[in-house]
């Protein structure tokens, strides 16, 4: 009797144990199927990203020229001091001595230079554009537009600047033909931000064009035609081992330069408009008028093409090449200085004034009036419930068209 009960218990225990083993095996099999079949592409992509690193080479940005091909925005060569993070971090002090030596040459602290090497989004990293948006195996630009003497020191004194290099890269240049400024119309470049990258991430891969270390047009023609001007970047995909050491190359694609943008602007006419506007403001001030700003728009009457766009006050467009200091940016927005960053031909809100007489006169002639028709011009005019006043309340009497 007792042995029969023991046998039943053993059978029950064996059944429970077998069920547990089978359920565990089914769970493992299901998980394996999930990994190998359902999520295969996802984990293959993750594994691939762990063993590859991309080095991006920015494409030369296209020029912006006037209607005759005169360059308004071009590219020039600039000396850039770059750092290899891997080489610096392998040093006993993680490269602090090297960065301090470089800082002494360029008037910056070694700490501030190290901040530029920290990947954006990592703990303790500064905000863009100070942090580094590129790949971990890509040289990090520390000093742009470096003096030639600094570049020579880095190249010649390798033992003191191990992990640093001097490279030549293209940056925007504003040649100013005929004395043209056109800062507002041409626009400027600034680093891509996280919001733009997040928005782009929702698009199919073939429709993405921005990279983490890209500069994008923020205003003017640089912004309007950013896609056409930027070209296609060069991509080198490196294979790395589990220690991050490069062991091979998978892809080597050369950068493709951006397109040249031919504008309708006439550089000589643009220069004349800017000079005339500046002189007019100075003359008005000398006569006691509070003239602090102005704009000139010149159109081709046959087709409506824009030949010149001048805005006053303006600023030096070269301040956007490299890093804009906070004081410089605040000065561009200072109302006491006329808000130089405001592009008055397109962003300013002004009453049309006498310039609208071209429209009203044309409408009057089209309605049967003649050039000799006389029209009363009182100091005020009642339109519905609104009383409109003439300029300075003047009464001009009777005037012909």
User: What distances in angstroms separate CA 294 from CA 305, 339, 352, one per listed residue?
Assistant: 21, 11, 13
- Residue of 262, 238, 241 lying closest to 249 (CA atoms): 238
More confident residue, 161 or 233: 161
* Ordered DSSP codes for 190-246: EE--HHHHHHHHTS-GGG----TT-EEE-SHHHHHTHHHHH-B-EEEEEEE-TTS-E
CA distance 143 to 259: 28
Three-class SS of residue 25? helix
pLDDT of residue 6: 52
CB atoms within 10 A of CB 232: 13
Q: What is the pLDDT of residue 343?
A: 95
**Mean of the per-residue pLDDT values for the chain?**
84
Domain boundaries, the chain: 351-401
Pairing of strands 234-240, 246-253: antiparallel
> Quick check: helix, strand or coil at residue 122?
coil
Can you tell me which residue has the tokens 């001595």?
A: 97
Of 43-57, 308-322, 353-367, least confident by mean pLDDT is 43-57
CA 144 from centroid of its chain's CA atoms: 17
pLDDT given for residue 312 in this prediction: 96
Question: Is it the case that residue 311 has pLDDT exceeding 50?
Answer: yes
Q: What is the pLDDT of residue 109?
A: 92
What per-residue string of b and e applies to 367-392 under the rule 16 or more CB within 10 Å gives b? Answer: eeeeeeeeeeeeeeeeeeeeeeeeee
What's the rounded mean pLDDT across residues 356-372? 89
pLDDT of residue 2: 54
The stretch 44-71 carries a mean pLDDT of 77
What pLDDT is stored for residue 41 in this prediction? 58
pLDDT band at 126 (very low <50, low <70, confident <90, very high): confident
Q: What is the mean pLDDT of residues 123-152?
A: 82
Q: Which residue has the tokens 């700490």?
A: 111
Q: What is the pLDDT of residues 249-286, one digit of tens each?
A: 777 778 888 999 999 999 999 999 999 999 999 999 99
Query: Quick one: pLDDT at residue 306?
Result: 97
Q: How far is the C-alpha of 165 from the C-alpha of 146, rounded, in Å?
A: 12
Q: Which residue has the higher pLDDT, 247 or 334?
A: 334
Q: How confident is the model at residue 100 (pLDDT cuts 50, 70, 90)?
A: very high
Range of lowest pLDDT (126-140, 179-193, 245-259): 126-140
Q: Which of 49, 54, 45, 51 is nearest to 243 (CA)?
A: 51
Give the whole-number percent of the chain exceeding pLDDT 70: 87
Distance CA 163, CA 98 (A): 8
Burial degree of 209 (CB within 10 A; 0-12, 13-18, 19+):
middle
Higher per-residue pLDDT: 328 or 277 = 277
Closest Cα to residue 254, out of 4, 57, 22, 31?
Answer: 57
Q: Is 376 helix (H, G, I), strand (E, B) or coil?
A: strand
**What confidence score (pLDDT) does residue 46 get?**
47
Within 8 A by CB and 6+ apart from 53, the residues are 135, 136, 137, 138, 237, 238, 240, 246
Q: How many helices (H) and strands (E) are present in the chain, helices listed first?
A: 14, 16
pLDDT score of 234: 78
State how far the Cα of 381 lies from the Cα of 400, in Å rounded to an integer: 18
* Short-list 396, 399, 297, CA closest to 355: 297
Burial class of residue 182 in the structure, from the number of CB atoms within 10 Å of its CB (0-12 exposed, 13-18 middle, 19+ buried): buried
Spell 40-74 as b/e; 16+ CB within 10 A means b: eeeeeeeeeeeebbbbbebbebbbbbbeeebbbbb
pLDDT tens-digit series, residues 222-255: 999 999 999 888 777 777 776 666 677 777 778 8
Q: Which of 32-36, 73-77, 279-283, 364-368 shows the lowest per-residue confidence on average (mean pLDDT)?
A: 32-36
Mean pLDDT in residue range 100-121: 90
In angstroms and rounded to an integer, the radius of gyration of the C-alpha atoms of the chain is: 33
């Amino acid at each position: 009797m007792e042995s029969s009960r023991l046998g039943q218990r053993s059978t029950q225990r064996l059944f429970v144990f077998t069920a547990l083993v089978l359920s565990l095996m089914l769970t493992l099999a299901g998980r394996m199927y999930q990994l190998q079949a359902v999520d295969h592409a996802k984990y293959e992509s993750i594994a691939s990203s762990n063993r590859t690193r991309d080095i991006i080479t920015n494409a030369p940005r296209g020029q912006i020229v006037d209607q005759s091909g005169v360059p308004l925005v071009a590219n020039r060569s600039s000396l850039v001091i770059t750092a290899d993070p891997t080489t610096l971090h392998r040093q006993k002090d993680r490269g602090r001595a090297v960065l301090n030596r470089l800082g002494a040459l360029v008037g910056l602290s070694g700490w501030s230079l190290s901040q530029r090497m920290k990947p954006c989004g990592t703990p303790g990293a500064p905000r863009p554009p100070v942090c580094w948006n590129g790949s971990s195996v890509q040289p990090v630009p520390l000093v742009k537009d470096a003096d030639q003497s600094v570049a020579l020191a880095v190249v010649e004194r390798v033992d003191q600047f191990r992990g640093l290099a001097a490279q030549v890269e293209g940056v925007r240049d504003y040649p100013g033909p005929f004395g043209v400024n056109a800062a507002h119309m041409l626009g400027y470049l600034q680093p891509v931000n996280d919001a733009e990258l997040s928005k782009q991430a929702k698009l199919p891969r073939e429709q993405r064009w921005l990279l983490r270390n890209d500069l994008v047009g923020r205003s003017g023609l640089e912004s309007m035609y950013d896609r056409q001007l930027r070209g296609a970047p060069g991509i080198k995909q490196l294979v790395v081992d589990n220690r991050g050491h490069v062991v091979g190359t998978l892809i080597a694609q050369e950068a493709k330069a951006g397109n040249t943008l031919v504008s309708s602007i006439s550089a000589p006419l643009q220069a004349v408009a800017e000079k005339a506007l500046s002189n007019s403001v100075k003359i008005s001030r000398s006569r006691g008028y509070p003239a602090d700003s102005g704009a000139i728009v010149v159109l081709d009457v046959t087709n409506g093409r824009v030949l010149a766009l001048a805005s006053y006050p303006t600023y030096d467009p070269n301040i956007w090449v490299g890093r804009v200091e906070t004081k410089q940016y605040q000065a561009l927005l200072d109302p006491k200085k006329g808000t130089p960053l405001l592009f008055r031909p397109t962003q300013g809100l002004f009453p049309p004034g006498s310039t609208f007489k071209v429209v009203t006169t044309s409408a009057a002639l089209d309605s049967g009036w003649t050039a000799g028709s006389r029209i009363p011009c009182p100091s005020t005019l009642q339109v519905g419930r609104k009383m409109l006043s003439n300029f300075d309340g003047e009464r001009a009497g009777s005037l012909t068209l």
